[in-house]
Amino acid sequence: MPTDDPRERIVAARLRLRQRFLAEMERTPARSDPRPLGSGPPNRHGMPRIPVGQTPTAPGKWPVLDLGHTPSVPLEQWHLDIAGECERPCRLDWAAFRALESVEDVSDFHCVTGWSKLDVRWAGVRLSTAIALAEPTEHARFVAFTAYDDYTTNLPMEEALKDDVLLVHSAEGAPLAREHGGPVRVITPQLYAWKGAKWIRRIELSRVDRPGFWERNGYSNTAHPWRNDRYS
């Protein structure tokens, strides 16, 4: 039965999305690759802890990479638009975003340039929660991100809906630093990190794939670390 309670609507929409995409999620390489490339004991998903070509950073080290511009977005001016193939497009200000269910998680961060930051403690909103809030239509198959520095990237829905894909507002117990994408960035632990836009300002649901900045400039559209899937 339809409900006007936004919490119940989000839960119902997430369940519908999970039912639609569960089989595709389980077939993604980070969960099902029979011959993953890497080393070390299994990670949280059964893949080798260190993907091929990656080196763990020293404790406390988190390199900074961007397009040469670090936006400054005060919380009172920050907003996140969710639009496209959905029944309830919306704009979230900081208060509305923080009112969504927040979770804590620990995951690894793999940069395509060859370093991995392991066991990062995150806090944020699952991307699937934000997507469910907008109630995607049955035609929504892809997600495109736009950042406050105009950076763009993209995900298929089966990657976007994974529980460890977060809109993070905190890292290691502190608000996410501006140089790392604060106040809010996307993280994609089962893909290379460029798939998670810093300084996120727009999520667009789409019927078709829309490759972003690096995807249009020679990087892989799929970005699977355990296949050394760096470049197109």
Q: 17-41 pLDDT, tens per residue?
A: 999 999 999 999 999 999 999 999 9
Cα 77 to Cα 125: distance, rounded to the nearest angstrom: 19
pLDDT value at residue 4: 65
pLDDT value at residue 7: 84
Percent of the chain at pLDDT above 70?
Answer: 98
Query: What is the distance of C-alpha 85 from the center of its chain?
Result: 18
pLDDT value at residue 157: 98
Q: Is 49 helix (H, G, I), strand (E, B) or coil?
A: strand
Phi-psi region for residue 60, left (φ > 0), alpha (ψ -120 to 50) or beta?
left
Cα 214 to Cα 97: distance, rounded to the nearest angstrom: 28
DSSP code at position 93: E
Q: Is 136 helix (H, G, I), strand (E, B) or coil?
A: strand
Which residue is associated with the tokens 């919380």? 75
Q: 73-123 pLDDT, tens per residue?
A: 999 999 999 999 999 999 999 999 999 999 999 999 999 999 999 999 999
Longest dimension (CA), the chain: 52
Give the tokens for residue 85.
């193939």
Q: 167-189 pLDDT, tens per residue?
A: 999 999 999 999 999 999 999 99
User: How would residue 2 be classed by pLDDT, with cut points 50, 70 and 90?
Assistant: low
Span 125-129, mean pLDDT? 98
> Does domain 6-56+77-227 bear CATH number 3.90.420.10?
yes
Which residue is associated with the tokens 């509305």? 96
User: How would residue 1 be classed by pLDDT, with cut points 50, 70 and 90?
Assistant: very low
Query: Does the pLDDT value for residue 3 go beyond 60?
Result: no
Q: 36-58 pLDDT, tens per residue?
A: 999 999 999 999 999 999 999 99
Q: 113-126 pLDDT, tens per residue?
A: 999 999 999 999 99
What are the sequence ranges of the domains in the chain?
6-56+77-227
Within 10 angstroms of residue 211's Cβ, the number of other Cβ atoms is 16
DSSP code at position 58: P
pLDDT value at residue 69: 86
Query: Does the pLDDT value for residue 224 go beyond 60?
Result: yes
